[in-house]
């Protein structure tokens, strides 16, 4: 399978402190890949370098073969790299569908207008995105009354309006109840399968990671210590040491590969 993302020898230093050190990896087209690691391992720093928020100190980032290292966030986004954040970024005073319509206006490069007729634009298209995340029945509800899990699904719909080739998800299930976490990631897995979008996500909940990731990478103190299938990562002694001081990290039945 060819790669949507290739990262070579990525490094980020802050005043001499090395947050990410010589990291190289790939994400295949149509892959759902997890980037895990303890707090402060360098996951967000990695994401920030992929999206152009931070310029790498060294190394290169290729999107579908094109070198995008150091490009501005907006350029990277226009090239098809989307991102969702741990804290949702919807407009609370607007309805669910208006949030999606506004994202579509941006995607189609239409100037946003507060004129009432602006809300007729892209309404059908917006419904399709809401349908993808099973939110069409909540289209006309204000965002301020949505349950947290519904806000996360809405944020996913908004990210999809830009037709990302690669979607980076920063702790997508943070703050959710365990059953809602698995449900949200099942939705993401379905989207990956049905639409061929590639997803790279960070996550602290191992049940979510093992249930859905095709492959897992492990960062520790800025260095990539594992990159492989669930089974390979589970059996990696260095990973077990990092997580549980040598104890068992994974249950056999969790593995799919």
Ligand X SMILES: Nc1ncnc2c1ncn2[C@@H]1O[C@H](COP(=O)(O)OP(=O)(O)OP(=O)(O)O)[C@@H](O)[C@H]1O
According to the binding rule CB under 6 A, does residue 172 interact with ligand X? no
For ligand X, the closer of residues 132 and 220 by Cβ is 220
Q: How many whole angstroms separate alpha carbon 3 and alpha carbon 43? A: 20
Of 23, 41, 199, 233, the one binding ligand X (CB under 6 A) is: 41
| Residues pairing with 167 in the sheet | 82, 199
User: Which residues are within 8 A (CB) of 170 and not within 5 positions of it... i.e. 6 or more apart?
Assistant: 44, 47, 83, 84, 85, 86, 201, 202
For the bound state, the minimum distance from the C-beta of residue 70 to ligand X, rounded and expressed in Å, comes to: 17
Of 43, 71, 162, 181, the one binding ligand X (CB under 6 A) is: 43
Per-residue CA distances from 87 to 31, 124, 175, 177, 248 (Å): 24, 27, 9, 15, 31
According to the binding rule CB under 6 A, does residue 19 interact with ligand X? yes
Among the residue ranges 35-43, 77-85, 132-140, 155-163, the one whose residues contact ligand X (CB under 6 A): 35-43
Q: How many residues bind ligand X (CB under 6 A)?
A: 11
Cite the DSSP H helix spans in 51-196: 73-78, 96-107, 123-132, 148-160, 178-195
For ligand X, the closer of residues 84 and 132 by Cβ is 84
Of 9, 24, 40, 248, the one binding ligand X (CB under 6 A) is: 40
For ligand X, the closer of residues 24 and 113 by Cβ is 24
For the bound state, the minimum distance from the C-beta of residue 155 to ligand X, rounded and expressed in Å, comes to: 18
Of 21, 45, 99, 132, the one binding ligand X (CB under 6 A) is: 45
Q: How many whole angstroms separate alpha carbon 82 and alpha carbon 78? A: 9
How far from the centroid of its chain's Cα atoms is residue 12's Cα? 20
Tokens of 55: 């310029």
According to the binding rule CB under 6 A, does residue 82 interact with ligand X? no
According to the binding rule CB under 6 A, does residue 44 interact with ligand X? yes
Q: How many whole angstroms separate alpha carbon 196 and alpha carbon 30? A: 5
According to the binding rule CB under 6 A, does residue 37 interact with ligand X? yes
Of 1, 2, 16, 39, the one binding ligand X (CB under 6 A) is: 39
Residue closest to 164 by CA, chosen among 131, 195, 197, 187:
197
Among the residue ranges 14-22, 124-132, 159-167, 248-256, the one whose residues contact ligand X (CB under 6 A): 14-22
DSSP 8-state assignment for residue 112: P
Residues forming contacts to ligand X in the complex (CB under 6 A) are 14, 17, 19, 37, 39-45
């Amino acid at each position: 399978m060819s790669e949507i993302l290739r990262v070579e020898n990525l490094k980020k230093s802050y005043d001499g402190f090395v947050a990410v050190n010589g990291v190289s990896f790939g994400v295949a087209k149509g892959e759902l890949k997890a980037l895990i690691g303890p707090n402060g391992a360098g996951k967000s720093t990695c994401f920030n370098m992929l999206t152009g928020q931070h310029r790498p100190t060294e190394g290169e980032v290729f999107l579908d073969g094109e070198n995008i290292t150091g490009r501005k966030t907006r350029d990277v986004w226009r090239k098809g790299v989307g991102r969702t954040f741990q804290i949702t970024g919807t407009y609370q005073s607007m309805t669910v569908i208006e949030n999606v319509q506004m994202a579509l206006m941006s995607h189609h490069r239409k100037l946003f207008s507060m004129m009432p007729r602006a809300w007729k634009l892209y309404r059908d298209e917006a419904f399709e995105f809401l349908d993808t995340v099973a939110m069409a029945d909540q289209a006309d509800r204000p965002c301020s009354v949505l349950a947290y899990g519904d806000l996360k699904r809405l944020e996913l719909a908004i990210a999809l309006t830009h037709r990302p080739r690669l979607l980076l998800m920063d702790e997508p299930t943070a703050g959710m109840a365990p059953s809602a976490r698995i449900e949200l990631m099942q939705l993401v897995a379905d989207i990956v399968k049905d639409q061929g979008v590639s997803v790279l996500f960070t996550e602290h909940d191992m049940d979510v990671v093992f249930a859905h990731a095709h492959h897992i990478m492990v960062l520790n103190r800025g260095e990539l210590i594992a990159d492989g299938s669930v089974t390979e990562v589970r059996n990696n002694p260095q990973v077990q040491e990092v997580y549980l001081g040598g104890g068992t990290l994974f249950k056999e039945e969790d593995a799919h590969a």
